Amino acid sequence: MSGEDAPAQQQNAVEQKQDTKPAEEPKAEPPKTESAEAAATPAATNEKAPEEETFIYRSLVLTGYGGYDKVKLQVKKGKPVLKAGEVMVRVKVCGLNFADLMARQGLYDRLPSPPVTPGMECSGVVEAVGEEVTDRKVGDKVMVLNRFGLWQEVAVVPAGHTFLIPEGMSFEEAAALSVNYITAYLMLFDFGNLRPNQSVLIHAAAGGVGIAATQLCKTVKDVTVFGTASASKHEAISQGGVTHAIDYRTRDYVEEVRKISPKGLDIVLDPLGGSDTHKAYNLLKPMGKLITYGAANMLAGQRKNLIAVAKNWYHQFSIHTLSLIQGNKSVCGFHLGYLDGEMELITQAMNTILDLYKQGKVKPRIDSTWHLEQVGDAMRKMQERNNIGKVILTTEPMPEEEKKEETKKEDKKEDKKKEDKKKDDKKKDDGKKEEKKDDKKKEEPKKEEKKEEKKEEEKKEEVNKEEK
């Protein structure tokens, strides 16, 4: 499959039957979906229609893999039927995550095939509870964590996937908290075992996980945080707790870290993958932990960039146990999306994070709030790394004047698409250039690796000789 565009009839479906898939298993009676435009005048059919007809809500649907325009706002009809243990949440705010961007390009296997509603975190109010739900009631303000299906006005999830919003926390903060802070928490304190006086490298320190990780580092005494971000974000991340801000666009971050911490680092959080994972490994001190949690390097341009993907595969880090033993090092992989089954662990982490929030030690930073109609622009801002903190969507209806603005923008969409195309093409070219540059750079770290492997090889040679 090309992974580019879904068939046209799917993209423009009106009254198309569709599974909402908000919870783990498909609903027995999926509500109907139609395009947002077609449902603009629901009052017309409102008179004595059954609840299936009157209960309508807007939903973002990934209609096929590709660019920003592949996520479309549609209207679903029909009240979802709750199974035992489930709750229905009237969604207020949704969080955007890097995995959502990967998913749109077909690079994230935890999202079912399109058409499907993405979204792994949101905040809202409980509107209905299913049988056997004892700890949630109608009216509870909750934050929600789910594998997908939360970018819509109404979401149905297992009650165990909701957490009560503490007093004083806004819906915006609540939607921005779960994925980033649980990810940062489990990486730093479960795999990383962070302790006083240690040093941590945080890539994309102005991103959602980056800001969460920085704040969590500061809850431990005398932790040195190295954070990478473009220069314009340095003031913000420094204020947020980063000890040494490094502009990865103009500096070699490995050199910068070595200047300050010649022995290396205790923990490196690596969302980049590819050759950056090798650099991270070489930066570790004895007893150091490398925690890799993504492959952001794969994401170049708004559509799947084959050069970037292939490059990431080519450079994918692979490690032998003997090298780990001789270096006294640890390599860990983390992704919250693959931790579905571990709600107990997640709940424990969440409770600790909420305690820290109440103590004023952590606080999500919101970069920008967008209407559901603007999801494309919201994704673009994140993917182009123009955000400082969390990008969120609100389900609040868009004011009429803004809508008019949007329509004007729509007219300009063709221009924008052309612009995007240009950008993408440029990125591809850059990718090729970068690759060449990278190959040269690689030689240096390779030398270091070779040093480490030399001993192994010497042993191998000895064995070989003896076998002869």
What is the binding site for a copy of itself (CB under 8 A)? 1-3, 106-107, 109, 186, 190-191, 193, 273, 277, 286-287, 289, 292-295, 304, 306, 309-310, 313, 316-335, 338-339, 341-342, 345, 455, 459-460, 462-463, 466-467
Which residue's CB is nearer to a copy of itself, number 289 or number 427?
A: 289
Which residue's CB is nearer to a copy of itself, number 243 or number 326?
A: 326
CA–CA gap between residue 387 and residue 394 (Å, rounded): 17
CA–CA gap between residue 418 and residue 54 (Å, rounded): 40
CB of 189 to a copy of itself, least distance (A): 8
| Pick from 350, 312, 48: nearest CA to 178 | 350
| Pick from 277, 273, 258, 59: nearest CA to 152 | 59
- Given the DSSP bridges, would you call strands 141-145 and 121-129 parallel, antiparallel or unpaired? antiparallel
| Pick from 177, 108, 106, 99: nearest CA to 141 | 177
Q: Looking at the chain, how many residues does it have?
A: 468
Which residue's CB is nearer to a copy of itself, number 87 or number 107?
A: 107
**177: its two tokens:** 């908290």
If residue 455 lies in a helix (H) or strand (E), which one and from where to where?
helix 413-467
- CB of 294 within 8 A of CB of 282? no
CB of 72 to a copy of itself, least distance (A): 23
- CB of 267 within 8 A of CB of 330? no
CB of 347 to a copy of itself, least distance (A): 14
CB of 90 to a copy of itself, least distance (A): 32
Q: 């490059």: which residue's tokens?
A: 311
Which residue's CB is nearer to a copy of itself, number 23 or number 99?
A: 99
Count of other CB atoms within 10 angstroms of residue 468: 5
Which residue's CB is nearer to a copy of itself, number 198 or number 214?
A: 198
- CB of 43 within 8 A of CB of 97? no
Which residue's CB is nearer to a copy of itself, number 242 or number 350?
A: 350
**367: its two tokens:** 């970069």
- CB of 121 within 8 A of CB of 178? yes
CB of 237 to a copy of itself, least distance (A): 25
Which residue's CB is nearer to a copy of itself, number 333 or number 397?
A: 333
**157: its two tokens:** 């999830």
Cα within 13 Å of Cα(407), Cβ side: 8
CB of 291 to a copy of itself, least distance (A): 8
CB of 330 to a copy of itself, least distance (A): 4
Which residue spans within 50-175 are E strands per DSSP?
A: 56-62, 71-77, 86-95, 121-129, 141-145, 154-158, 162-164
Which residue's CB is nearer to a copy of itself, number 326 or number 347?
A: 326
CB of 210 to a copy of itself, least distance (A): 18
- Given the DSSP bridges, would you call strands 265-270 and 199-202 parallel, antiparallel or unpaired? parallel
Which residue's CB is nearer to a copy of itself, number 33 or number 297?
A: 297
Specify the DSSP class assigned to residue 222.
T
CB of 368 to a copy of itself, least distance (A): 28
CB of 323 to a copy of itself, least distance (A): 7
CB of 321 to a copy of itself, least distance (A): 5
Whether the ω angle into residue 115 lies within 30 degrees of 0, i.e. cis, is yes
Which residue's CB is nearer to a copy of itself, number 44 or number 325?
A: 325
**246: its two tokens:** 């490094």
Which residue's CB is nearer to a copy of itself, number 323 or number 369?
A: 323
- CB of 130 within 8 A of CB of 142? no
CA–CA gap between residue 444 and residue 345 (Å, rounded): 41
CA–CA gap between residue 381 and residue 271 (Å, rounded): 18
